[in-house]
């Protein structure tokens, strides 16, 4: 999906919707791939922590909107 979105020159932020069944290895793999593609990634735990669990994602979305151009 990231590569497809990049073709449209749209900034990307990936939210990892973490659940208790997710392993650290799975999370690290997603983070690694996102880093390789130059994409912001946020571990999102809204389901477990409510609004507090989404603050990092919100900050990264705002930062990305303010800092990266979009030609879409």
Interatomic CA distance for residues 47 and 4, integer angstroms: 28
- Is the pLDDT reported for residue 69 higher than 90? no
Tokens of 27: 């999370």
Q: Higher pLDDT residue, 68 or 43? A: 43
**Residue 13: which pLDDT band, with cuts at 50, 70 and 90?**
very high
Question: Which DSSP string do the residues of 46-72 spell out, in sequence order?
Answer: HHHHGGGGGHHHHHHHHHHHHHS----
* Torsion from C-alpha of 52, 57, 47, 20, nearest 10 degrees: -110
- Is the pLDDT reported for residue 72 higher than 80? no
Task: Report the pLDDT value the prediction gives residue 50, as an integer from 0 to 100.
Answer: 93
Q: Give the mean pLDDT of the chain.
A: 93
- Average pLDDT, integer, range 57-65: 96
Tokens of 47: 């389901």
Domain ranges of the chain: 2-67
Would you say 49 and 57 are in contact if contact means Cβ atoms under 8 Å apart? Answer: no
């Amino acid at each position: 999906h990231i590569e497809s979105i990049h073709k449209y020159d749209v900034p990307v932020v990936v939210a990892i919707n973490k659940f208790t069944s997710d392993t650290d290895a799975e999370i690290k793999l997603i983070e690694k791939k996102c880093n390789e593609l130059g994409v912001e990634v946020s571990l999102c735990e809204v389901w477990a922590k409510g609004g507090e669990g989404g603050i990092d994602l919100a900050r990264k979305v705002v930062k990305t909107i303010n800092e990266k151009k979009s030609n879409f």
